């Protein structure tokens, strides 16, 4: 399992997502970004036993896919954000049953109403049939009520921070579903959905991406074009808890391991995928660890650098089924499925058992 497995998409691609609702297997969705060709959504499965990556389904998609997100409760439902030649939009799709042998996706709903180019969609982490969706365009964020069965969608809230903020990314806080974080050119903002007001903000953080710590409340990571990755505590926004060197050029994506908050995955435009450990900050904040462990904190936080890609890596996704498996997608359409090195996994397991 040390070597990675590769899968090629015909066209350029930016987004890859884990099918979170599928608990049986490790499945990823990849959306292509081809201006002049018919775009595709690839459903690819990683087999842990053979280490192979295989295509499970290939579906056509009319437009370029700029963002793709999976429904957290139904493995067949996902959303895409698309734009092509001045046209833009966002839709929720259902993958057709395997038996139907069709490559046409079933459109469940259109998130219409955006006036600017839509940047991303994020599903509320604990939704059921009546799920909530967050969609972000450059100037406003929308919260939608989605009824999957009735295929209806309604705007629940619209918050417009202003023209000055070019928002690029948004995310639900997994620990407080009334809080949404948005990333814009110059700052990170936190919105309270109850009051529709800004709760906190992190000024002058030039970030591309933000990811909440799935295990520990208040913590999140940002990555930006200053290439460093920063770990923050929402309660202490004055200064970052940790700074990682990131990538040689921009750091495009950063994601916590879903099971272990000490492991962080990042991808950058220097075509690398880096695996980091941030155990040191949790040692500090927990305060429970003995000082003998502290030398570890000063060790190189970079656990491993995966250099299988040859172009900028815009998409990374951890598997939920196998928490040490992740997929990365480079602009030239290559998906690589890699795993956290075995000795690191052992270390982490020993650490959690010991602690």
Does 164 bind another protein (CB under 8 A)? Our answer is no
Size of residue set near another protein by CB under 8 A? 51
What DSSP element (H or E) covers 219?
strand 219-224
By C-beta, is 162 or 238 nearer to another protein? 238
Scanning residues 80 to 119, which ones bind another protein (CB under 8 A)? 83-86
DSSP character at residue 186: S
Strands 251-256 and 263-268: antiparallel
Bridge partners (DSSP) of residue 118 are: 137
284 near another protein, rule: CB under 8 A: no
Three-class DSSP category at 98? helix
Binding pattern to another protein, positions 191-210, x when CB under 8 A? -------------xxx----
DSSP for 225-259?
TT--EEEEETTBTTS-SEEE---SS-EEEEEE-SS
Minimum Å gap between C-beta 354 and another protein is 26
In angstroms and rounded to an integer, the radius of gyration of the C-alpha atoms of the chain is: 20
Under the criterion CB under 8 A, does residue 243 sit at the interface with another protein? Answer: yes
- Residues 8-47 as x/- pattern, contact with another protein by CB under 8 A: x-x-x----------------------xx-----------
Tell me the closest approach of the beta carbon of residue 308 to another protein, in angstroms. Answer: 4
Listed residue (99, 100, 9) closest to 61, CA to CA: 9
6 binds another protein per the rule CB under 8 A: yes
Q: Between the CA of residue 131 and those of 125, 255, 324, what are the distances in Å? A: 9, 23, 29
Q: Is 302 in the site for another protein (CB under 8 A)?
A: yes
Please report which helix (H) or strand (E) contains residue 281, including its range.
helix 279-286
316 Cα distance to chain centroid: 7
Residue with tokens 């058992």: 353
Instruction: Report the nearest approach of another protein to the CB of residue 182 (Å).
Output: 18
CB of 128 to another protein, least distance (A): 35
Q: Is 307 in the site for another protein (CB under 8 A)?
A: yes
Does 169 contact another protein by CB under 8 A?
no
Interface residues toward another protein, by CB under 8 A: 2-8, 10, 12, 35-36, 52-53, 83-86, 204-206, 225-227, 230, 238-240, 243, 248-250, 269-272, 274, 302, 304-308, 310-312, 331-334, 336, 338
């Amino acid at each position: 399992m040390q070597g990675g497995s590769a899968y090629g998409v015909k066209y350029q691609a930016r987004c890859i997502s884990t099918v979170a609702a599928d608990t049986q297997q490790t499945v990823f969705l990849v959306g292509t970004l081809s201006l002049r060709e018919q775009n595709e959504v690839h459903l690819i499965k990683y087999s842990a036993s053979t280490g192979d990556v295989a295509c499970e389904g290939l579906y056509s998609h009319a437009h370029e896919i700029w963002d793709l997100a999976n429904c957290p409760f139904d493995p067949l439902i996902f959303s895409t954000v698309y734009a092509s030649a001045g046209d833009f939009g966002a839709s929720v799709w259902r993958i057709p049953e395997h038996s139907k042998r069709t490559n046409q996706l079933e459109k469940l709903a259109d998130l219409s109403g955006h006036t600017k180019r839509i940047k991303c969609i994020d599903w509320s982490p604990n939704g059921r049939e009546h799920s909530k969706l967050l969609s972000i365009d450059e100037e406003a964020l929308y919260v939608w009520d989605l009824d999957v069965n009735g295929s209806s969608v309604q705007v629940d809230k619209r918050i417009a921070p202003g023209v000055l903020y070019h928002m690029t990314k948004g995310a639900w806080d997994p620990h407080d579903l009334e809080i949404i974080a948005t990333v814009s050119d110059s700052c990170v903002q936190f919105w309270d959905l109850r009051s529709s007001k800004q709760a906190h903000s992190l000024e002058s953080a030039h970030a591309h991406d933000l990811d909440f710590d799935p295990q520990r409340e208040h913590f999140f990571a940002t990555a930006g074009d200053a290439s460093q990755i920063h770990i923050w505590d929402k309660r202490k926004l004055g200064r970052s808890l940790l700074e990682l060197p990131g990538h040689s050029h921009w750091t495009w994506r950063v994601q916590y391991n879903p099971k272990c908050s000490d492991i962080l995955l990042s991808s950058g435009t220097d075509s690398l995928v880096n695996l980091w450990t941030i155990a040191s900050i949790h040692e500090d904040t927990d305060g429970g660890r003995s000082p003998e462990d502290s030398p570890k904190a000063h060790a190189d936080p970079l656990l491993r650098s995966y250099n299988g890609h040859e172009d900028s890596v815009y998409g990374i996704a951890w598997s939920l089924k196998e928490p040490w498996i992740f997929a990365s997608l480079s602009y030239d359409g290559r998906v690589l499925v890699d795993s956290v090195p075995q000795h690191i996994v052992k270390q982490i397991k020993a650490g959690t058992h010991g602690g």
